[in-house]
Amino acid sequence: MNIITSWEEVPLFDNEQAEAAYWEDTRVDLRLMESAVAASAENTESVTITLRMDPRMLARIKRLARSRYLNYQSMIKQWLSERMEEELWGRERRERNVA
């Protein structure tokens, strides 16, 4: 069993299967995990933004969030985070294919 002690030790993966294979025999050191949790608790700063959207769309988002027992704003942030990761993942993959 491999144990990582720094986030820099985690490689970039070509696909989800490669990532799954990596994590099958690799674990995160407990101190690294605790420091990540503590850092996220300390980093609670956020910025308020204004986002205009169709009221019907917002109502649908709120209903969907309620059905998942989530705050609608948290769900929107989760969606944005997931999409951002998809975009970055795709860009890194394209850059590796070009190089």
Mean of the pLDDT values across residues 57-65?
A: 96
CA distances in angstroms from 29 to 25, 35, 38, 69, listed in the order given: 13, 10, 14, 32
Element (H, E) at 89: helix 72-98
Same domain, 1 and 29: yes
User: CA–CA separation, 13 vs 92, rounded Å?
Assistant: 10
Say if pTM beats, i.e. exceeds, 0.85. no
Confidence of residue 98 (pLDDT cuts 50, 70, 90): low
| Residues 20 and 64 placed together within one structural domain of the fold | no
Choice between 41 and 12, residue whose per-residue pLDDT is larger: 12
Residues 78 and 97 in one domain: yes
2-4 vs 26-28, strand pairing mode: parallel
8 Å CB contact between 4 and 27: yes
Q: Could you give the number of structural domains in the chain?
A: 2
C-alpha to C-alpha distance for 87 and 64, rounded to whole angstroms = 24
Model pLDDT for residues 3-36, shown as the tens digit of each residue: 988 888 888 888 888 889 999 999 988 888 777 7
What's the domain range around 35?
A: 1-45
